[in-house]
Structure 1
C-alpha cells in the first residue's frame, strides 16, 4: 500500500512538469519525466513511460516559448505491476477518468541558463499555476531542456482520501525532474 501511494505521488509530480522547447515534438526515447516522493520519510521514485508534447522555442526570444506536455498518468512506473496499478487507480491518479496530466507553458523569463518557465499544470482535472527554473542546452542539432520543481500532491487530490491523506505516511511534496529533448531548428 505504501509503495502504491509512492507511485501515485511520483506520477503526479511528473504530470506537473513541462519544459519550454522548439516548435517541434519531444523525442520520448531521449527524454524522461521522473517523480519522487517520500513514504515514511524514505524517497521513492518512478518514471512516466508515456508522454508526448511539442514546443515552440526561439533561443533569441525565450519569452515567446510555448509548450504542451501530455503525460499518460497510467504510465507511472514504480518498478512493480501491483504498485503501478494502485497509483493509476481511483485513489491516486484515477487514470480511468483522468488519463492525462497536462502542463502548458505560457512563458519563459530570464536569459542564458537563468530561465524561469511559467504555465499551468492540470492533474485529475485540477489546474494550478506552476513556475520553475529550466536550463536549455543546444548541441548536436538538439535542444535539451532540464529542470526540477516541487508540487503538493494534495493540491491535485492525489492520494487525498483515506489513510493516504495522512502526510506522515506519504509526504505531500513531490519533486518532478525532467529532461526533454527535441530537434533544434
Structure 2
C-alpha cells in the first residue's frame, strides 16, 4: 500500500490528546469563597456560601486538567443586613437575571513548586472576561488543598450600577480569595 508511509507520518505529526486528569470532589464544609471590597476606604469582607465545581486536575497532566466552578450569587453575605439585602438587587449582582457566576478553565501553567496558574473565563452578570488565577496546591494522597487569590475590577462586570458605578465610594478592585479542600473521587 503506497499511502501507508504517509498515514504513519500524519499519525506521528498529529497532536497528542491528553488523557483526562483524575476528578476531585470539594469538601464544601471546609472550603470557602470570600471577597474583600472597599467602601469609603473601609474594608468590606464577604463570602459566597454556596458554590460547587467540577475539578479534574493532575500536576503531571496539566493539558488534561480542567475546572468549571459555579457560584450561587444569591448566597452572598457580608454580615451587614442592609448591605446583604442590597447586593442581590439590580444595582449590584441582579441575581434574578444573573443567579450564577462561573469560571471555566482554558489551560493551566506550572509556576514552579506547588504554584500554578489557571487561565480561563470568569462570567459575572452575563459579562465574560479572561482571567488568570494564580494558586497554590498541596496534594497529600487523596486529599488536596488549593489556595488562590484573584483581583477583579468590578466595573468590568457591571457590578455597581447608578450611584455605585463610580469607584469614588466603592473601590473598583475586589479581591476574591478561594480556599478549596477536596478529595480524589472514586
Please classify the TM superposition score into its range, dividing by the shorter chain length: 0.7 to 0.9
Structure of greater relative contact order (alpha carbons < 8 Å, 6+ residues apart): 1
Name the residue aligned to 2:151: 150
Cα deviations across residues 62-102 of structure 1 (Å, max 9, x unaligned)? 34320011001011110133321210111100001110000
SS at structure 1 position matched to 2:28? coil
Q: Is the 8 A contact 1:119 1:130 kept in 2?
A: yes
Name the residue aligned to 1:113: 114
Name the residue aligned to 1:162: 162
Q: Which runs of 4+ in 1 moved over 4 A?
A: none
Give structure 2 stretches of 5+ with no counterpart: 1-20
Within 1, Cα distance between the matches of 2:106 and 2:145?
Answer: 19
Q: Is the 8 A contact 1:22 1:54 kept in 2?
A: no
Give structure 1 stretches of 5+ with no counterpart: 1-20
Cα deviations across residues 3-60 of structure 1 (Å, max 9, x unaligned)? xxxxxxxxxxxxxxxxxx9512322111100111111111111010000111001121
Within 2, Cα distance between the matches of 1:29 and 1:39?
Answer: 29
- Is 1:85 paired with 2:114? no
Within 1, Cα distance between the matches of 2:138 and 2:122?
Answer: 24
Matched residue count: 164
Within 2, Cα distance between the matches of 1:151 and 1:124?
Answer: 14
User: Normalising by structure 1, what TM-score?
Assistant: 0.83
Within 2, Cα distance between the matches of 1:56 and 1:140?
Answer: 15
Within 1, Cα distance between the matches of 2:22 and 2:31?
Answer: 14
Name the residue aligned to 1:96: 96
Q: Is the 8 A contact 1:22 1:182 kept in 2?
A: no
Name the residue aligned to 2:41: 41
Distance change in 2, residues 1:92/1:22 (3 Å): farther
